[in-house]
Amino acid sequence: MNIKDAAEASGLPAKTIRYYEEIGLVSPARAANGYRDFGAREAAKLGFLARARSLGFSIDDCRALLSLYEDRERASADVKRLAEERLGEIDRKIAELEALKVTLSDLVHRCHGDDRPDCPILTDLAGPEGRA
């Protein structure tokens, strides 16, 4: 399986797959002509990586997940811990964005949005001195 087919099968761009090899996430075999040759195992790892990345796991997380995935003796507790940490990050990020949204939408609602130069968004961004 050449890189293009591996890309189509996994949904990852070929460039990304080469990058993943460079950083040691996958190690495809090489054909006589120097082309990468992906077997079932490496192709499956690419799919695994694509899914884990789409769930927001960092490359380092993926490295850990992959070694757990490859390890027949792995403990599911390790995997669960990683996933829970990731869940915590997601919650924190959502809370942060919600707070941002409140502030910004308040600003937007207070802005008349016509062609007058007076704008509460800018006044607010200018800080205390700007408002004084």
Partner DNA sequence: GTAGTCCTTCCAGTCGCTGGAAGGTCAAGG
Partner DNA sequence: CCTTGACCTTCCAGCGACTGGAAGGACTAC
Binding site for DNA (CB under 7 A): 2-5, 13-16, 18-19, 32-36, 53, 58-60
Which stretches of 14-68 are assigned E, i.e. beta strand?
A: 29-30, 36-37
SS3 content of the chain, % helix, strand, coil (to 5): 70, 5, 30
Minimum distance of DNA from residue 88's CB (angstroms): 16
Near a second copy in 88-127, by CB under 8 A: 90-91, 93-94, 97-98, 100-101, 103-105, 107-108, 111-119, 121-122, 124-127
The interaxial angle of helices 40-54 and 3-10, nearest 10 deg, is 40
Q: Cβ neighbours of residue 90 under 8 Å, at least 6 residues apart?
A: 56
Minimum distance of a second copy from residue 128's CB (angstroms): 9
60 binds a second copy (CB under 8 A): no
Q: Which stretch binds a second copy (CB under 8 A): 14-22, 26-34, 71-79?
A: 71-79
Structure tokens at 1: 């399986």
Given the complex with DNA, which of 75 and 90 has the nearer CB atom? Answer: 90
Minimum distance of a second copy from residue 131's CB (angstroms): 12
110 — phi, psi (to 5°)? -80, -10
